């Protein structure tokens, strides 16, 4: 596997770790909307600084404003809804539900982007969905959990599907500038919601919470979203979205390593089926390297 392939897989590994950070933040008493704002705002500020430093600070074209605004709104919805749901579910199940967006993305790609969706992509997404369903079986069997939280997580996944479409429409915009606008806009929305929810009062953060914020903001957002923008520039919405099924695989791995959540053989089988579906829908990782040349 070439270096380009490894870089293309990096966002999914980083996003899988986000759900570990959510559980750490929950233990520190940080509310979901405050944590989501703390994820977005510093990332947006860092990206805006890097864009200005590199002479990329010119405003985008007026025709891109609608898509950039949609990116900010859908990111705010995705972060806020999924972080709220994740504080009521396990880290592994959270990563699974939050990244079920490929199920919606195939339809959105055909309807909104008029993409000609290959049967291989449809079959691959179906196989990936089967894989993540297998992964979910032990968690649903042992602890059915909060059905409302699960529904909220799926609503967040739907918002992520629209976000992928909006990001695809701005793939010609400098990724630093586009993601700076996206994260700053999302951060402002989330900070307002956190203020109205009373989450910004009397919070004292320890070292673990600060490390969680630093991880999700700098690694899981600033770095991951810039790379994700480049992946979207190379692939169709349907094919790129199928790669999001890798996040639950990494989420289960990191939850097992860092949260000591048990992993059953059935979950390993599900992960293998999901990866097979991704390979069918989006092509192997080597395909990303080939198309990047």
7-53 residue pLDDT tens: 778 888 898 888 778 777 766 677 889 989 999 999 999 999 998 88
Structure-token match 């993540």, residue found? 132
SS3 call for 204: coil
Q: Is residue 59 helix, strand or coil?
A: coil
User: In the prediction, which pLDDT does 142 show?
Assistant: 59
Tokens coding 10 = 């990096």
Cα(234)–Cα(8) distance, integer angstroms: 11
For 190, other C-beta atoms within 10 Å of its C-beta total 27
Q: What distances in angstroms separate CA 124 from CA 1, 50, 153, one per listed residue?
A: 21, 37, 22
18 closest CA partner among 42, 4, 35: 35
In the chain, which residues have pLDDT < 70? 1-6, 26-28, 56-58, 91-93, 106, 114, 117-118, 120-121, 132, 136, 138-146, 202-203, 278-279, 281-293
Q: Which pLDDT score, from 0 to 100, does residue 288 have?
A: 40
- What pLDDT does residue 217 have? 93
pLDDT of residue 183: 97
Q: How many angstroms separate the Cα of 16 from the Cα of each of 122, 140, 145, 224, 278?
A: 24, 20, 20, 11, 16
């Amino acid at each position: 596997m070439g270096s380009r392939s490894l870089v293309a897989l990096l966002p999914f590994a980083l996003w899988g770790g986000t759900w570990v950070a959510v559980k750490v933040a929950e233990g520190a008493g940080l509310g979901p909307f405050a944590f989501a704002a703390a994820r977005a705002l510093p990332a947006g500020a860092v990206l805006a600084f890097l864009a200005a430093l590199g002479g990329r600070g010119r405003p985008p074209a007026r025709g891109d404003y609608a898509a950039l605004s949609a990116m900010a709104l859908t990111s705010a919805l995705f972060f806020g809804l999924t972080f709220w749901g994740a504080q009521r579910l396990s880290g592994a199940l959270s990563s699974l539900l939050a990244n079920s967006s490929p199920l919606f993305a195939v339809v959105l790609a055909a309807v909104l982007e008029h993409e000609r969706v290959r049967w291989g992509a449809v079959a691959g997404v179906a196989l990936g969905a089967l894989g993540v369903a297998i992964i979910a079986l032990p968690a649903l069997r042992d602890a059915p959990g909060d059905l409302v939280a699960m529904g909220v997580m799926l609503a967040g996944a739907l918002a992520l599907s629209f976000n992928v479409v909006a990001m695809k429409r701005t793939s010609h915009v400098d990724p630093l500038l586009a993601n700076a606008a996206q994260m700053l806009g999302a951060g402002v929305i989330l900070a307002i919601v956190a203020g109205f929810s009373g989450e910004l009062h009397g919070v004292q953060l320890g070292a673990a919470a600060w490390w969680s914020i630093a991880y999700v903001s700098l690694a899981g957002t600033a770095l991951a979203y810039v790379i994700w923008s480049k992946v979207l520039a190379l692939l169709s919405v349907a094919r790129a979205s199928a790669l999001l099924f890798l996040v639950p695989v990494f989420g289960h791995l990191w939850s097992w390593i860092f949260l000591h959540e048990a992993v059953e053989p059935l979950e390993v089988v599900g992960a293998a089926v999901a990866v097979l579906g991704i390979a069918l829908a989006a092509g192997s990782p080597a395909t990303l390297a080939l198309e990047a040349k």
